[in-house]
Amino acid sequence: MQRASSASLAAVPAPDPAAAGSGEGAAPAAPSPLEVRLLALVAAARFHGIELDREDLRVPEDEAPAPAVLVGWMQAAGLWARAVRMRWRSLLAIKAGGPVVLLLNDGSAALMVRADPARNVVWLRDPQAVNDEQVVAVDELRLSRVWGGEAVLVRRERGVTFEDEPFTFAWLGRMVWLEKVVLRDVVLGSIVLSILAIAPPMLVMVVLDKVITYQSMSTLTLIALFLVAAAFYEAYLGYIRRRLIQIVATRLDAKLGLHIFRRLLGLPIDYFERNQTGAILFKLGQISKVRDFMTGRLLTTMLDFVTLAVMVPVLFWINVPLTWMVIGAAGCVALIIVAFMPAVRAAFGRWLDAEVARNNIMVETVHGIRTVKSLALEPQQREIWDQRVAEASSRKQALGDISNWPQTLVVPFETFMTRGVLMVGAYMALQGDLTTSVGALFAFMMLSGRVSQPLVSMARLVEDLEETRMAVGLAASVLNNRPETSNPGAGLRPRFEGAISFKGVDFTYPGSRNPALVDISFEVPAGTMLGLVGRSGSGKSTITRLLQGINREYEGSIKIDTTDLREINLAHLRRSFGVVLQDNFLFRGTIRENLLAGRPGLTITDAVRAARLAGAEEFIERLPQGYETQIEEGSPNLSGGQKQRLAIARALIHDPRLLILDEATSALDPESEALVNANIHRIAHGRSMLIVSHRLSSLVDCHQILVLDQGRMVDIGPHKELLERCSVYRQLWLQQHRHMESSGMGKPASPKPVLAQGD
Ligand SMILES: Nc1ncnc2c1ncn2[C@@H]1O[C@H](COP(=O)(O)OP(=O)(O)OP(=O)(O)O)[C@@H](O)[C@H]1O
Ligand SMILES: [Mg+2]
């Protein structure tokens, strides 16, 4: 391609053959085209007040992301974005409202900041330009040399999006409505099918009335031929209709699944802590009922409605009084169902509650099976299970009993719709009603057979609606909880140095009466270690939770560097931390996959480096398959200490500036603990660390140690100072080192006399 040499195109990043070939080989002064393209998108997003995060962009390495991927990236950050093909004319017609990203042929991009139709030029800005004022005018010919018409339009998302609206019946309805094009075809097919269904009875009427009476063989042949043709056509249409329904059902199913998982992931951690897993899973499982209803019952009922709309007029044409009788009977069926609904609903609700409770026991037992087994709790669990099963069964029985009534009561009416009408019709014919010929009666019977079933099922729809409404309610009780952030793209994404400051922080867990933290103030300079000690329940973990934005309703101020915690983008905040807890979850997969945890741009080299730092290298290399060793669910093939070291390595993989170790080494045997502790200085190099530990000896090297008691700060300072002035700390220290004292090692030399003085 030609290098755009004209001066007016200077701002359009010209294809640089050297840079275009290799992604990273370019000199630092000339970023790769892809880099420029991403810069353009970031700039366009920034115009709308949203910072895009490169970590959110999921592209395979050294592969140019498709426009759809780029658009998805922007949408995930809360922007409205579309990839489009444009011509010069439509480009000129764009009114100012933020830059348009033009995807250039060489893989880079330019920002169109305004169009000037009067002069027939557009104004472009180089995404790399520091100064916003650096724009150049480009005309159609020049642009066409570097641009093939691909562009990305970006806007601020207005208000709440469809996706973010609460999960309700109306929402579901709108989701079905989105499929209206296919649904229209389904309805059209159904209308034709219903009309076809009318033909045979009508022909039967003709056969009975004319062919037999007048002995007309030719009419019979004609009718037979027509019937055969109609039968084939009916089969074909039925096939098409089922296929279309299948398509809609599958699509709705996929959409619903995606949506639900997205919302579930958006819920805050403390929701999962406050609610039982079993209950959450059961409630979400109700979605399948909703889906079955939407793709099964709702659609068929809609089609039934079409059938009725076509057939009922025909019935009226054949015989008015008989039709009224059929409709009246269907009305009675509906009335009976509606009358029993409140009672059925109540019984249904009671049964659901029992089901949730039963399910909870199941999930809990599977989750805690180790504890159940090791404490030999099987009999107890079985007993609770028996109770719950008995409860659920009796309520299910009660539900069955109550819904048996309407089902029984409607039977006479349903029978009347078929056989009763025949009797009445025959009576009318006997009375000399001329409209009721034998043929007409037969036709009526055949048609009303087709009508009565939809009529009844429409009446039953009320019942199904009720059941689905409850299922929607259950699922909504999980999904409609307030998500962690209303806008995942909002917030600052500063580069952290790692300084942490708490100022007058108070915090009480929701629903708890006692405050977990009271007036906590401390500062951790960047690159230093803070130890947290205190009795169990003194608030150590709570401090680390606040820092990670898990609980956000604190009072006072928490800052990282100079940025208030509340202003930081949540995903960015959490990504900046490495966190190791006492018990860590390893995903199913290889050790390498677990260490890299799907982070883009990391390789096995990073995994090895992190493993070495965490003291995990030696045991990984002793495994027969090394980094490719498969970790099973619950990782039974690893020891507790090995798991822990993997977790530490995983936390270090992306080289975080901030590291939290909450009892990270307390599950380790002395040897592995010593290994990690020996590495802690290397681990700490260049980062700020918060270390929670019950073993004070592992905190001795911390720059500061914060002593907590019942959520209050007792003291803060380095080990030596605390030993001298803080009685709580000294007590904890002495408890752990008494044996040294008595064995004459007497390492803490001063404490004893100070303690005797009692400060
Ligand atoms: N998710 C929660 N919901 C409600 N209260 C909580 C929650 N987590 C902790 N608490 C309460 O907050 C207080 C502080 O708990 P925290 O977990 O911070 O203690 P800790 O110092 O880490 O204790 P440990 O050394 O046992 O881990 C405790 O009284 C605890 O009961
Ligand atoms: Mg804790």
pLDDT higher than 50, residue 8: no
Evaluate: CB of 539 within 6 angstroms of ligand 1.
yes
Evaluate: CB of 268 within 6 angstroms of ligand 1.
no
Q: How far is CA 521 from the centre of its chain?
A: 37
Q: Tell me, in angstroms, the distance from the centre of ligand 2 to residue 708's CA.
A: 12
Task: Tell me the sheet residues that pair with 83.
Answer: 152
Evaluate: CB of 660 within 6 angstroms of ligand 1.
no
Q: Which of 229, 9, 240 is nearest to 138 (CA)?
A: 9
Nearest atom, ligand 1, residue 543 CA = 18
Evaluate: CB of 544 within 6 angstroms of ligand 1.
no
Residue owning the nearest CA to atom 26 of ligand 1 = 536
Strand segments (E) across 34-146? 79-85, 100-104, 109-116, 121-125, 135-139
Which ligand minimizes its atom distance to the CA of 545? 1
Are the CB atoms for 31 and 106 separated by under 8 Å? no
User: In the predicted model, what is the mean pLDDT of residues 408-416?
Assistant: 88
Q: What is the pLDDT of residue 135?
A: 83
Evaluate: CB of 541 within 6 angstroms of ligand 1.
yes
pLDDT higher than 70, residue 751: no
Could you read off the pLDDT of 209-237 as tens digits, one per residue?
777 777 778 878 888 888 888 888 888 88
pLDDT higher than 60, residue 744: no
pLDDT higher than 80, residue 571: yes
Specify the higher pLDDT residue, 251 or 463. Answer: 251
User: In the predicted model, what is the mean pLDDT of residues 726-745?
Assistant: 75
Q: What is the pLDDT of residue 434?
A: 57
Are the CB atoms for 272 and 280 separated by under 8 Å? yes
Evaluate: CB of 127 within 6 angstroms of ligand 1.
no
pLDDT higher than 80, residue 185: yes
User: In the predicted model, what is the mean pLDDT of residues 473-492?
Assistant: 81
Which range is least confidently modeled, 52-66, 120-134, 270-284, 422-436? 52-66
Which ligand minimizes its atom distance to the CA of 518? 1
Specify the higher pLDDT residue, 741 or 490. Answer: 490
pLDDT band, very low/low/confident/very high, at 159 (cuts 50, 70, 90): low
Residue owning the nearest CA to atom 30 of ligand 1 = 537
Are the CB atoms for 550 and 574 separated by under 8 Å? no
User: In the predicted model, what is the mean pLDDT of residues 404-416?
Assistant: 88
Winning range, highest mean pLDDT, from 63-77, 312-326, 540-554: 540-554
Measured N-to-C along each axis, helices 421-430 and 320-367 cross at an angle, to the nearest 10 degrees, of 180
pLDDT band, very low/low/confident/very high, at 500 (cuts 50, 70, 90): very high
Residue keyed to tokens 């998108």: 41
pLDDT higher than 50, residue 727: yes
Look up residue 275 and give its two tokens: 């609610």
Give, in order, the Cα–Cα distances in Å from 404 to each of 180, 382, 459.
37, 32, 16
Non-local CB neighbours of 586 within 8 Å, separated by 6+ positions: 594, 631, 635, 638, 643, 646, 647
Which range is least confidently modeled, 48-57, 344-353, 724-733? 48-57
pLDDT band, very low/low/confident/very high, at 131 (cuts 50, 70, 90): low
Evaluate: CB of 537 within 6 angstroms of ligand 1.
yes
Go through 29-68 and write b for each residue having 16 or more CB atoms within 10 A of its CB, e for each that does not.
Answer: eebbbbbbbbbbbbbbbebbebbbbeebbebeeeeebebe
What is the DSSP secondary-structure string of 244-310? HHHHHHHHHHHHHHHHHHHHHHHS-HHHHHHS-HHHHHHHHHTHHHHHHIIIIIHHHHHHHHHHHHH
Which ligand minimizes its atom distance to the CA of 516? 1
Measured N-to-C along each axis, helices 670-684 and 640-652 cross at an angle, to the nearest 10 degrees, of 10
pLDDT higher than 90, residue 691: yes
Q: What is the pLDDT of residue 756?
A: 37
User: In the predicted model, what is the mean pLDDT of residues 337-361?
Assistant: 89
Could you read off the pLDDT of 627-670 as tens digits, one per residue?
888 887 666 778 877 888 888 899 998 888 999 999 887 767 77
What is the pLDDT of the chain when averaged over all its residues?
Answer: 82
Which ligand minimizes its atom distance to the CA of 542? 1
Could you read off the pLDDT of 583-592 as tens digits, one per residue?
878 888 888 8
The CATH code of the domain at 169-479 is: 1.20.1560.10
Strand 529-534 and strand 704-709: the pairing is: parallel
Q: Tell me, in angstroms, the distance from the centre of ligand 1 to residue 710's CA.
A: 10
Q: How far apart are CA 678 and CA 282, in angstroms?
A: 47
Specify the higher pLDDT residue, 627 or 489. Answer: 627
| Four-way CATH pick for 526-548+574-717: 3.40.50.720, 3.40.1190.20, 1.10.10.10, 3.40.50.300 | 3.40.50.300
Are the CB atoms for 595 and 674 separated by under 8 Å? no
The CATH superfamily assigned to 7-160 is: Cysteine proteinases (3.90.70.10)
Q: What is the pLDDT of residue 11?
A: 44
Residue owning the nearest CA to atom 18 of ligand 1 = 539
Q: Which of 728, 681, 683, 732 is nearest to 702 (CA)?
A: 681
Identity of residue 459: A
Q: How far apart are CA 282 and CA 261, in angstroms?
A: 14
Q: How far apart are CA 699 and CA 705, in angstroms?
A: 7
Winning range, highest mean pLDDT, from 13-17, 291-295, 669-673, 706-710: 706-710
Are the CB atoms for 349 and 398 separated by under 8 Å? no
Evaluate: CB of 540 within 6 angstroms of ligand 1.
yes
Q: Tell me, in angstroms, the distance from the centre of ligand 2 to residue 419's CA.
A: 74
User: In the predicted model, what is the mean pLDDT of residues 508-534?
Assistant: 92
pLDDT higher than 50, residue 284: yes
pLDDT higher than 70, residue 391: yes
Question: Ligand 1 pocket test: which of 275, 542, 691 has the largest number of ligand atoms within 8 Å of its C-beta?
Answer: 542
Evaluate: CB of 512 within 6 angstroms of ligand 1.
yes
Provide the 3-class DSSP secondary structure of residue 581: coil
Q: Assign residue 436 a region: left if phi > 0, alpha if psi is -120 to 50, beta otherwise?
A: beta
Q: How far apart are CA 213 and CA 403, in angstroms?
A: 50
pLDDT higher than 70, residue 5: no
Evaluate: CB of 562 within 6 angstroms of ligand 1.
no
Q: What is the pLDDT of residue 277?
A: 83
Q: Tell me, in angstroms, the distance from the centre of ligand 2 to residue 696's CA.
A: 15
pLDDT band, very low/low/confident/very high, at 741 (cuts 50, 70, 90): low
pLDDT higher than 70, residue 21: no
642: number of Cβ within 10 Å: 18
Q: Which of 510, 475, 472 is nearest to 268 (CA)?
A: 510
Q: Which of 355, 291, 344, 307 is nearest to 462 (CA)?
A: 344
Evaluate: CB of 513 within 6 angstroms of ligand 1.
no
**Nearest-5° angle of CA 194, CA 196, CA 197?**
60
Q: How far apart are CA 68 and CA 203, in angstroms?
A: 56
Q: What is the pLDDT of residue 2?
A: 40
Q: What is the pLDDT of residue 717?
A: 93
Specify the higher pLDDT residue, 14 or 452. Answer: 452
Strand 109-116 and strand 100-104: the pairing is: antiparallel
Are the CB atoms for 658 and 574 separated by under 8 Å? no
Give the neighbor-by-neighbor strand order of the sheet with 121-125.
79-85, 147-156, 100-104, 109-116, 121-125, 135-139
Q: Tell me, in angstroms, the distance from the centre of ligand 1 to residue 512's CA.
A: 11
User: In the predicted model, what is the mean pLDDT of residues 136-163?
Assistant: 81
4: number of Cβ within 10 Å: 19
pLDDT higher than 50, residue 757: no
Non-local CB neighbours of 423 within 8 Å, separated by 6+ positions: none
Percent of the chain at pLDDT > 90 equals 16
Which pTM was predicted?
Answer: 0.68
Domain boundaries, the chain: 7-160, 169-479, 526-548+574-717
Q: How far apart are CA 660 and CA 676, in angstroms?
A: 14
pLDDT higher than 70, residue 752: no
